[in-house]
Amino acid sequence: MEAFETLRTRTSRLSISASRSTRDAWTSWGVRATSRCQSPLTCCEVDMNEPTYRTRVVTSLARACSVVGLLALYACSDSAIVEDEPPASHAEPGMAFFHGSFDDAVAEAREQGKKVFLDVYTDWCGPCIVMQETVFPLPEVGEYFNARFVNYKLDAEDESIGGPEIAARYEVKAYPTYLILDNKGAEIGRATSGMSGDQFVALFSRMLGETESQFETIKARFDSGERSPEFVQEYLDAAIVDQSMGSDFDFQRFAELKKVAGDYFASRDHSVLVNETDARLITTYWDKTPRGDSLVEFVIDNYDEFVSVSSDAAMSQFVLGATWYAGLAAAELGDGSYEALLEELGEEPLSKAVAYDLARDPASVLDPVRMHSVFQMRDLVASENWGGVASEWARRIADAGATADARTYNGAARDLAGSPEAAHQALALEYYSKAYELDSSDALVAASYGAQLRRAGQDELAEQLMEEFRASLGDSAEDQRQLELFNRLNPQTSD
Q: What are 153's strand-pairing partners?
A: 119
Annotated domain spans of the chain: 384-493
Whether the pLDDT of residue 67 is over 70: the answer is no
Q: Are 61 and 322 in contact (CB under 8 A)?
A: no
Beta strands (DSSP E) in 371-415 are none
Domain 384-493 has CATH 3.40.50: no
User: What span, in angstroms and rounded, lies between the C-alpha atoms of 262 and 269?
Assistant: 13
Q: What is the pTM of this model?
A: 0.82
Q: What is the pLDDT of residues 176-231, one digit of tens each?
A: 999 999 999 999 999 999 999 999 999 999 999 999 999 999 999 999 999 999 99
Residues 6+ apart with CB under 8 A from 51: 25, 414, 444, 448, 489
Out of 64-73, 160-169, 446-455, pick the least confident: 64-73
Residues 6+ apart with CB under 8 A from 457: none
Q: What are phi and psi of 374, to 5 degrees?
A: -70, -50
Task: Determine which helix (DSSP H) or strand (DSSP E) holds 174, and give its type and residue range.
Answer: strand 174-175
User: What span, in angstroms and rounded, lies between the C-alpha atoms of 189 and 148?
Assistant: 14
Whether the pLDDT of residue 399 is over 50: the answer is yes
187-192/177-181 β-pairing: antiparallel
Which residue, among 291, 358, 363, has the nearest Cα to 321 in the 3D structure? 291
Q: What is the pLDDT of residues 134-144, one digit of tens each?
A: 999 999 999 99
**Given this model, what pLDDT does residue 77 score?**
33
**Given this model, what pLDDT does residue 92 score?**
61
Whether the pLDDT of residue 24 is over 50: the answer is no
Q: Are 77 and 388 in contact (CB under 8 A)?
A: no
Supply the Cα-derived Rg of the chain in whole angstroms: 23
User: What span, in angstroms and rounded, lies between the C-alpha atoms of 92 and 393?
Assistant: 45
Tell how far CA 254 is from the center of its chain: 17
DSSP string, 403-438: G--HHHHHHHHHHHTT---HHHHHHHHHHHHHHHHH
**Given this model, what pLDDT does residue 492 score?**
62
Which residue, among 205, 209, 165, has the nearest Cα to 185 in the 3D structure? 165
Amino acid letter, 105? A
User: What span, in angstroms and rounded, lies between the C-alpha atoms of 67 and 157?
Assistant: 17
Q: What is the pLDDT of residues 320-358, one digit of tens each?
A: 999 999 999 999 999 999 999 999 999 999 999 999 999
Residues 6+ apart with CB under 8 A from 79: 99, 160, 161
**Residue 95 gets which letter from DSSP?**
P
